[in-house]
Amino acid sequence: MARRNLFQPPPPPDATTIATSSTEQKQRFPNTGAMGGVKSTLKDVASNAVRDISVDMIEENGPKDRLSFSDADVLALAESIKSHGQQVPIMVRPVVDKPGYYRIVYGRRRLRALKFLGLPAKALVRSLSDEQAILAQGQENTQRLDPSFIEKALFAAELGESGYEQAVILDALAVDKPMLSRMTKVARSIPKSVIQRIGSAHGIGRRRWEDLANHLRNDDLDIEQISSALQLEETTSSDDRFAVINNAVVRALKPQAPDELAPSPTLSITLGDGPALAEIKETARALTVKLSKTDAPDFVRWMRDNAEAELTRLYETWQSGQGTD
């Protein structure tokens, strides 16, 4: 019997063996489920990674979804970031024609606070089209900030003026067509300078803004002039500023009747050096004759008994004199 050479290498595998081995490996490590999602998961992690970006490399231009925030708001947020760090990243997108620069998608107030502190911004970087950026901006602010009606209205009007399609604006604000129409009507009827002076007015709903816009259909009414003439204290809330301006507009629209002119001073009637006979007082709505029961009790009783006849006589005398002028 021939002795087997234990040191002889085994014969090379044929094509069938290779194919079978490859199949077994695929069965052991299938490219599905958790193992198959490794590549896509790594890609997602890379795209969702938060990066530190110098605030000097981030531009703030683009449609604004909020009225300008005050310095006090920025300082308060800056103090919070200084104590606890930036908890929520902003979102930016690369500027196509300026390598290394980014444009803010959302998080403008956080960006201002970071600029004040001189800190880099923790940011999500997304390669978004203009439409995609608007959708992200609108949806993030709707979920986190709960903007007021007038802030949404200004945002909608600015998007429309910038040429965005109606479908994009509807999705960004999560509203229907009738509501979008109402928003744009209000934003176009009330001058932006007046809205900015009022502020976000979170307590003022759609109906009151629409009422104010309807008042401005009168071409003779200059709400900018009315607003600038009002002395609004710095401590007055945004809702109060709306009420003050709205009331001034209503007063300006109301015609001034003759009985609403400045009243005359109170007139006292006396007989020589004797006691007061009567006091005549004028208000915006009435002329009152007051007789004193203490100083002239007999005359008061006589006037009570003869008031109808005497007042009728006085009225007829006045009426007959109207045609003599």
Which tens digit of pLDDT belongs to each residue from 186-227?
999 999 889 888 888 888 889 999 999 998 887 678 888 888
25-29, 91-95, 145-149: which has the highest mean pLDDT?
91-95
The edge-to-edge listing of strands for the beta sheet with 267-270 is 267-270, 276-282, 287-291
Backbone φ and ψ for 276, nearest 5 degrees, come out as -65, 130
Say if residue 44's pLDDT is above 70: no
The whole-angstrom separation of Cα 194 and Cα 227 is 7
Q: Which CATH architecture has domain 147-255?
A: Orthogonal Bundle (1.10)
Which tens digit of pLDDT belongs to each residue from 164-192?
788 888 877 778 889 999 999 999 999 98
Written as one letter, the residue type at 184 is T
Mean pLDDT across the stretch 1-22? 49
Write down the pLDDT at residue 118. Answer: 92
Six-digit token string for 231: 């002395």
Closest C-alpha to 194, from 228, 148, 231 = 228
69 falls in which pLDDT band (50, 70, 90)? low
Give the right CATH number for 41-145 from 3.30.470.10, 3.10.20.30, 3.90.1530.10, 3.40.50.1010: 3.90.1530.10
Query: To the nearest whole number, what is the mean pLDDT of the chain?
Result: 76
CB of 53 closer than 8 Å to CB of 120: yes
Domain locations in the chain as residue ranges = 41-145, 147-255, 263-294
Write down the pLDDT at residue 27. Answer: 47
